Amino acid sequence: MIRGVRGAITIDNNTEEDIVHSTKVLLEEMINENELKPEFVSHIWFTTTSDIDAAFPAKATRLFDGWQWVPVMCAQEINVSNSIPLCIRIMLTAELDTAQEDVQHIYLREAKQLRPDLELTKKK
């Protein structure tokens, strides 16, 4: 079954180092928690709030062995008043043998407030 796996993380600074490192942290947890293999990933969408422009977060994907063939794309989130600043979001689409309610969506740092209800689905 094709499933979407969501994740989000905030960064401290709009620098290439912070963007790539933080995205790697998020993506690594998404991969590990959902036992994702690159050959079963259709594509990954990365979005950022408008205050992030020092690097493409998708660059972090290339830091994982075997993930160089996964199509990635970056875009900017819509600008919503009072939204969380310096936030990177991921929508990863993959073939998973997991029930929808068992998919582990990962929200880290200040991004946890985007989906506090998902804490109930966390295995940890």
Enter the tokens of residue 6. Answer: 């969501």
Bridge partners of 107, per DSSP, are 8
Q: What is the pLDDT of residues 25-65, one digit of tens each?
A: 999 999 999 999 999 999 999 999 999 999 999 999 999 99
Residue 62 annotated among the catalytic residues of the structure: yes
Task: List the alpha helices (DSSP H) in the chain.
Answer: 16-34
**The domain 2-121: what is its CATH number?**
3.30.1330.40
Q: Is 6 annotated as a binding residue?
A: yes
Residue 115 annotated among the catalytic residues of the structure: yes
Question: The pTM is what?
Answer: 0.91
Q: Where are the domains of the chain?
A: 2-121
**How crowded is the C-beta side of 55, counted as CA atoms within 13 Å?**
17
- Position 34 scores a pLDDT of 96
Residue 77 annotated among the catalytic residues of the structure: yes
Among 28, 29, 33, 77, the one annotated catalytic = 77
Residue 3 annotated among the catalytic residues of the structure: no
**How crowded is the C-beta side of 47, counted as CA atoms within 13 Å?**
13
- Please report the sign of the dihedral spanned by the C-alpha atoms of residue 17, residue 23, residue 49, residue 59: positive
Q: Is 89 annotated as a binding residue?
A: yes
82: helix, strand or coil: coil
